[in-house]
Amino acid sequence: MPAKLKKSRKDKMLAGVCGGLAEYLGWDPTIVRILFIIFAFLYGSTILMYFILAIVMPD
């Protein structure tokens, strides 16, 4: 059974969203954070999406 999408408690920098996505996808959290930064510079809505996920994703 695949892991549930949730915020990370152990690999957390701000809200644990990138760490949670990395655990869900089976990726290194650093890669997810770098991708987030790249997309944040390319698309401003990425930052809004991060805050929405921080509110919506379970702990």
d(CA 22, CA 5): 9
Q: Is residue 8 part of a domain?
A: no
Q: How far is CA 43 from the centre of its chain?
A: 16
Q: Residue 33: its pLDDT value, please?
A: 94
User: How do residues 9-46 score in pLDDT, each as one tens digit?
Assistant: 888 888 999 999 999 999 999 999 999 999 999 998 99
Confidence at residue 10, expressed as pLDDT on a 0 to 100 scale? 86
Residue 55's H or E segment, with its range, is helix 45-56
Residue 19's pLDDT is what? 92
Q: What is the pTM of this model?
A: 0.82
Domain that holds residue 40: 24-56
Helix, strand or coil for residue 9?
A: coil
Q: Token digits for 26? A: 């089976």
Residue 11 maps to a domain: no
Query: Which residue, among 22, 7, 3, 2, has the nearest Cα to 58 in the 3D structure?
Result: 7
Report yes or no on 5 lying in a domain.
Answer: no
Most confident range (mean pLDDT) of 1-5, 6-10, 38-42 is 38-42
Structural domain tally of the chain? 1
Residue 13 in any domain: the answer is: no
Q: Which two tokens stand for residue 30?
A: 């650093």
Residue 30 inside a domain? The answer is yes
